[in-house]
Structure 1
Amino acid sequence: MDVSFQKRKAIGRSVIATAVIVILVVVGVGAYYVFAPGAGQTTTGTPASGTLSLTFANVPNADPAKGSDEASSAALANLYDSLVFPTSSGTIQKDLATDWTVSTDGLTYTFTIRQGVAFHNGDALTASDVVYSLNRLISVGQGYSYLFSPYVSTVTAPNANTVVIQLKKTFGPFLSALVRLYVVDQKLVSAHYVNSTASSNGDYGSTWLLTHDAGSGAYQMSSANLESNMVIQAYSGYWNGTLANQPGKVNMIGSSDSSTVHALFTSGQIQITDQWQPYSNVQALSQLKGAKLVTIPTVNEFYLMIDTAKAPTDDIYVRQAMSYAFNYSAVINNIFPGSKPSAGPVPSALPGHNSNIPASSQNLALAQQAIQKSKYYGKLDSHPVTYWWVTQVPSEQKMALQFASDMQKIGITVDVVGQPWLTVVANLAAESSSPNVVSITDGASYFEAGSVLQSRYTTPSQGTWEQNEWLHNSSLDSMIFSALSTLDQTQRFQQYNTIQQQIYNQFPTVYAFDVYEARAYYPTVVNWYAANGHPIVLLGYNFYFRDFQFYPSQLTALFG
C-alpha cells in the first residue's frame, strides 16, 4: 500500500471526511484501500531534472472556460487551483477554500479563501479572482460552464478572503462540482482581451490563454504549440510546496497515432502512452525491457451518439434495432480488451447508476423485430446512416467497421467516415451538420450520475461535443434538473434511476462499453499513483503531476 501518495495529497489540504482511517472503495469489479490521513504541512522538495513525456489524443485547450476533454482537463488540473480537489476515494478535499458554510435552504455558500497564494506571475490570488473566474466561465458558456450556469445567481467578494455564491435553485452536488472551477488571475487575463469594447469583453482572453497560463497551480506553462504539444514546468512558488522527484517538466504531446507512439515509446522519448492505442500495440509495447501494461478503471463510457432528429435515426425502431444488432462482445474482446459492458447511459462504477438496467448485448432476433416496425422498413437503401469516428483514435475505425458489418445484417447501410476531433467538435455545434452516429468517450465531471445525465442529455449540452442526440426534450430536462436540485442524496439517486430508465427506453444511444484505460509505461522511470491502484477517476485527474515521482536516471539506464 502506497501510503505516501495519500499523505502527499493531504499536504496543506484538510480532508473532508469523518475520522475514518481506512475506506474500502469499489470501482467496477475491483477494490482497493484508500487512506484518508489528516492535514499535513507544506513540504518543499527538489523536483526531478529532465522531462516526463506522454501522449494524449490532442493538444490541451488550456483556457479554463473552454477546455473539458481529457488532455485539457489534465492541463487545467496542473496549471490552476480550484476551491476543492478530488480524491481517489470519491470525496473532496479543501484546496483554495480553507473553509465554508452552507445556508439551511442550500442556496448560499460562503467560502474562506486561502491566504498567501500567488499566481505564476507573482500576483496575489484573492476572492475577487474567484468571483471573476466563475463569472467568466458562465459568460463564455463553454467547457465546464454547464455545471454552474443553470444554478449560479450571483457571486461576490465581501472582502479579499471571502467569496459568497448565491444559487438560483438548490444544486445537491454543488461542492463536488467545484473541482471544475479553475481560478484565473483577473488582472492578467483582462489585459489580454481581443476585440474588447466598452460594452464587450471580446474573446475574454481565450486566444492568449491557448498558449499562456494565468494560474496558481503546481505547474506553469513553459511553451505551447497548438499543432503538436504543450510543455509545463514545476512552479517553484507553489503555495503547497514542491515535492522531491516530482517531474521538473512535463511534455504533453497531442498525438495518438499508433506508429508515432510506438516509435516514441520504444526509444524512451515518452514514458506513458495514451489510452487510445490499439490494445495489440499496448501489449507489444509492454513487452519491452522495463515496460509494463496497466489497466486503470474510469467513470467514462464509450457511446455511439445517435441523432434522433435526422432520418432514418429519427425513428425509435431504427435506433432500437441498431442497439440490438451491435456485437458488443466482439468490440470488447477484440478491439478494446479489458473494458466492461455498459448498462445504460451512466457508467456502472458511478454513484447513482441504475443497476436494474441490463448490460448491453447483441440480440439479432430482437433487432429484426424492431427494424420491421420502422417506417423506413423496405426503403432503408434510400436512407444510409452516416457514422463518424475520430481519426486520432485508430481503434475507433475498427469499431466503426464492426458496426457497419453488424448493421448490414438488418438491412441498414452505414457510411463510415473518419473525421479529425476538431472537425467533429465544430460540426456537432449545429444540428444541420451533425451525422447520424458519432463515437465518443465521455464521463463524469464529478462523482455522481447526475454529472453524466446533465452533460449528455439536457438541452443546454446540445451543440457541444458531448451530445449528438438532439433530444429537444423539455420534460427530460425538468426531470434531470429537478434531481440535481434535490439536497437529499438518497432521493436524488432515486430520481437518477428513473431518468436513466426513461432515457434507456428511447434508445438515443448505443452504450458500447465502460472504459478501462489500457496503457504502457515504464514503472521504474515514473512512479504513478493511478497505476499503483489509486486512480482519481475524474477526467484529467489521473495526471496530477505533482504526485508523480520521476527518475530520469532510470530512463538513462534503460536507453543509455
Structure 2
Amino acid sequence: MFKRTFPIMLLVALLILGLVGCGPAKPSNNGADAGDMQSIIRMTQDWPTYYDPAVGSSFSCTIAMINIYDPLVFPQLDGTVGPHVATKWDVSDDGLVYTFKIRDDIKFHSGNLLKAEDVVFSMQRMLTIGEGYAYLFVDVVEDVYAEDDTTVVMKLHEPFGPFPLTLVRFMIVEKALVTEHMNLDEDTYGEFGDYGKNWMLTNDAGSGPYKTKEFQLDEYLLGERFDDYFLGWEENAPQYFKISGAVDPVSVRTAMANKELEITDEIQPIENYNTMAGFEGVDVVAYESGTNCNMMLNTKKAPTDDVHFRRALAYAVDYDVILNDIYPDSIRSVGPVPSIVPGWNSDLEPFVFDLDRAREELAKSKYADDPAMMTIDLTWCAEVPEQEKIALLIQSNLEQLGITLQVTRKPFGSMIADAQTMETTPHASFVNFAPSYFEAGATLKTRYHSSSTGSWEQMEWLQDPEIDAMIEDALSTVDLNERFQKYYDIQEKIVEIVPTVYLFNWVEKRACQTGYVDWEPYLLLKEGKDFVYPMGYSLYVRGMKVYPDKR
C-alpha cells in the first residue's frame, strides 16, 4: 500500500542525535556579507524540513519547495490556478488526456534550460518514490511523455475532476542534475539507485526564484536569489530567505524584538503574539488558511475503535473554552472540511460540550463495563504549546466520565515516527492539517482514504472501503456541482462515525515586521480583499519586498 511518509531512517537518526525538536538555532550570517543580509526574509517554522519535491509535504517542506522549485501551474488568490511553467493546457473530451505547453525560456539554477523531458522525469520520479505529495498522483496519472521540447502529455487512469488544482504540488526537477547524483550503489529504485534522494536532502535541482545557499538539515535552510529567474525581479525583492526551526517562544520573541526575524511561524502562544504586536513596526497578521485542528482518534486500537466511545470523547470537549480562551479569533469546526474550502458541507451539525450525552454514549460502548479500558493516551505537538491547554481541558472533563487521559508532549518529528504503524499511533493525537489544493476532495482524500494511513495526516487508521469508494467516485466526477454533492455526502458519513474530533478551524497568525517588509496577506487584509492560499504559498518570498533603510 502506498503511504505518505517522511524518510524514516533519516528521521530516526535525527531523533537519536537529538536534532529534531524546537530548540533555538544559533544565529549566523552563513557566509553572506552583512550588507546583503539586510535584504532577507527570515522565517521560523516547524521542523524537520525535506524539500525534495518527491519527498516533503509538511508546512516547512512546502514553504521551502515553492521558493526553490517551480510548479507546473500557480495558485491564484481566488482559489483557481493559472499558467506558470505551463502556459496553457487542453483536456480531451473524455477527461483522460491533458496536453500542456510549457515555456521555453526557464533556466534551472545550473543554467540549463527546462524542457519537457524534465517535466516527464519529475512526474515519473515522484510516482516511483511514492512519498510526499505523490499521493495526489500515484493512482491518477497512468502515463506521461514529451511530444517535443515544449509539449507534455499526461494520461489519467480515469477522469479526475480537480486534476489541474493538484498541480500546484507538482514541482519540476532537472533530470540531468538529479541523474548525475543518483547513488547507483543502492538498489532502492532499481536502475535509478536512490533516485538522487540522499543528494537532494540538502541540494536542489530546481529553477525557482531562489537557489540553495546553505542547508543545515537539523537547523535551517538559507536560499539566495536566482538572478536568471524567468519572471524577473522587482526592486526591493529579498536577496535571501531563511527558514529556521527555532520556534520556541523566547527565541522567536527575542528575534522579533531585535529585528532578526521578519515573519514568525503560526504556532506561537497567544501571549507571544500579543507581546509581539506591541513591538514597534510589528503587526500580527491573521487570516483563514483552510487549516483545521484535529483530535485524530485511532479507530483500530481499543477503546477508540468503538464509535460510541469516540462520540463520548466528542461530547466531552468544551469547544467554547477553546474558541474564547485558548484560540480566540479561531472558527468553530463543522466536519472534516474547513468552511473556507470549496465543497464544505454547511448543513452538518457540530458536536457540542455535553457531559450527559457523553455518558449516554459511553454506556452504549462495548467497553462500558470494563474499567481496564477506561485509560487512553493523547499526544500533543511540542512545537504548539497551546495544545497542552486543550489537552488538560479535555483531561479534566474526561475525569468526570471515569476516563483517564494520559497526556504526552512530543516533537512533531516523533509524532511522524509514531504514525508509521497502528500499534505506535496513540489513541488520540492533536494535528493541524491544511489541504494540499483548494477543494474539499483534497482534505477528504488525504485525511480519510486508506492510501494515506501510516502518515501523520491520517492517524485515525480508518481503512473504510465504503468511504474509499465514495472518495474515489467523487474525485472522478468532472461536473463540479455533482462532485460537490458527493463531497457533501462523504462529510456526512465521516461525521457519523466520528474518527476525528474537530476542535476548530485555524485562523493562521504570524507576526511580521511590517515596518520594513511588504507581505501580500497583510496588504490584502488592509485593502479588505478576499484571498486564499494553498498551504505554504502565503510565504512565497519572491512576492515580498524588504526596505532595509526602514529598519
Is TM-score (shorter-chain normalized) higher than 0.5?
yes
Structure 1 contact 298–538 (Cα < 8 Å) conserved: yes
In 1, Cα distance between equivalents of 2:303 and 2:418: 19
Question: Pick from 287, 294, 298: which aligns with 1:303?
Answer: 294
1:263-286 Cα distance to aligned partner (Å, 9 max, x none): 211111102211000111101111
Structure 1 contact 275–518 (Cα < 8 Å) conserved: yes
Structure 1 contact 77–217 (Cα < 8 Å) conserved: yes
Question: Pick from 494, 510, 514: which aligns with 2:485?
Answer: 494
What corresponds to 2:182 in structure 1?
A: 193
Amino acid at match of 1:142: E
Structure 1 contact 99–111 (Cα < 8 Å) conserved: yes
Instruction: Measure how far apart 1:193 and its partner are.
Output: 2.0
Amino acid at match of 1:85: F
1:454-473 mapped onto 2 (5 Å cutoff) = 454-473=445-464
Structure 1 contact 535–542 (Cα < 8 Å) conserved: no
1:378-398 Cα distance to aligned partner (Å, 9 max, x none): 334444111011112211222
Structure 2 contact 302–373 (Cα < 8 Å) conserved: no
When structure 1 is superposed on structure 2, of 52-61 and 295-304 the one drifting more is 52-61
Structure 1 contact 342–360 (Cα < 8 Å) conserved: no
1:378-393 mapped onto 2 (5 Å cutoff) = 378-393=369-384
Structure 1 contact 530–536 (Cα < 8 Å) conserved: no
What corresponds to 2:206 in structure 1?
A: 215
Amino acid at match of 1:552: P
What corresponds to 2:152 in structure 1?
A: 163
Tell me the secondary structure at the aligned position of residue 190 of structure 2: coil
Instruction: Measure how far apart 1:99 and its partner are.
Output: 1.5
Structure 1 contact 444–452 (Cα < 8 Å) conserved: yes
Tell me the secondary structure at the aligned position of residue 520 of structure 1: strand
In 2, Cα distance between equivalents of 1:333 and 1:74: 30
Matched, 1:174 2:163: yes
Say what the alpha-carbon RMSD is for the aligned residues: 1.5
1:181-227 Cα distance to aligned partner (Å, 9 max, x none): 00000111122223445934233212221211111011111111112
What corresponds to 1:42 in structure 2?
A: none
1:32-53 Cα distance to aligned partner (Å, 9 max, x none): xxxxxxxxxxxxxxx9953221
In 2, Cα distance between equivalents of 1:222 and 1:177: 29
Question: Pick from 339, 344, 357: which aligns with 1:353?
Answer: 344
In 2, Cα distance between equivalents of 1:292 and 1:360: 34
What corresponds to 2:18 in structure 1?
A: none
In 2, Cα distance between equivalents of 1:380 and 1:392: 33
In 2, Cα distance between equivalents of 1:152 and 1:529: 34
Tell me the secondary structure at the aligned position of residue 431 of structure 1: coil
Question: Pick from 305, 325, 328: which aligns with 2:316?
Answer: 325
Question: Pick from 410, 431, 442: which aligns with 2:433?
Answer: 442
Q: Sequence identity, in percent?
A: 37
Q: Matched residue pairs, number? A: 509
Instruction: Measure how far apart 1:519 and its partner are.
Output: 2.0
Question: Pick from 524, 548, 551: which aligns with 1:552?
Answer: 548
1:120-159 Cα distance to aligned partner (Å, 9 max, x none): 0111110011011111111111111111111110000121
Matched, 1:364 2:327: no
In 1, Cα distance between equivalents of 2:223 and 2:236: 15
1:379-435 Cα distance to aligned partner (Å, 9 max, x none): 344441110111122112222222212221222111111111111111211112111
In 1, Cα distance between equivalents of 2:76 and 2:91: 22
Tell me the secondary structure at the aligned position of residue 514 of structure 1: strand
Cα gap change, 1:410 to 1:492, in 2 (>3 Å): same
What corresponds to 2:268 in structure 1?
A: 277
Instruction: Measure how far apart 1:359 and its partner are.
Output: 3.5
In 2, Cα distance between equivalents of 1:536 and 1:554: 29
What corresponds to 1:422 in structure 2?
A: 413
In 1, Cα distance between equivalents of 2:315 and 2:284: 33
In 1, Cα distance between equivalents of 2:229 and 2:109: 8
Question: Pick from 57, 67, 89: which aligns with 1:100?
Answer: 89
Listed as ranges, the gaps of 5+ residues in structure 2 are 1-35
Structure 1 contact 338–518 (Cα < 8 Å) conserved: no
Matched, 1:540 2:531: no
In 2, Cα distance between equivalents of 1:486 and 1:256: 42
In 1, Cα distance between equivalents of 2:106 and 2:373: 62
In 2, Cα distance between equivalents of 1:148 and 1:219: 26
In 2, Cα distance between equivalents of 1:477 and 1:493: 16
Instruction: Measure how far apart 1:521 and its partner are.
Output: 1.6
Tell me the secondary structure at the aligned position of residue 392 of structure 2: helix
What corresponds to 1:140 in structure 2?
A: 129
Tell me the secondary structure at the aligned position of residue 522 of structure 2: coil
Tell me the secondary structure at the aligned position of residue 433 of structure 1: coil
Structure 1 contact 86–536 (Cα < 8 Å) conserved: no
Structure 1 contact 388–417 (Cα < 8 Å) conserved: yes
Question: Pick from 505, 508, 523: which aligns with 1:514?
Answer: 505
Question: Pick from 114, 128, 131: which aligns with 2:117?
Answer: 128
What corresponds to 1:153 in structure 2?
A: 142
In 1, Cα distance between equivalents of 2:467 and 2:129: 25
Instruction: Measure how far apart 1:535 and its partner are.
Output: 4.7
Q: TM-score, normalised by structure 2?
A: 0.90
1:47-70 Cα distance to aligned partner (Å, 9 max, x none): 995322121112431110111111
Amino acid at match of 1:94: P
In 2, Cα distance between equivalents of 1:133 and 1:124: 15
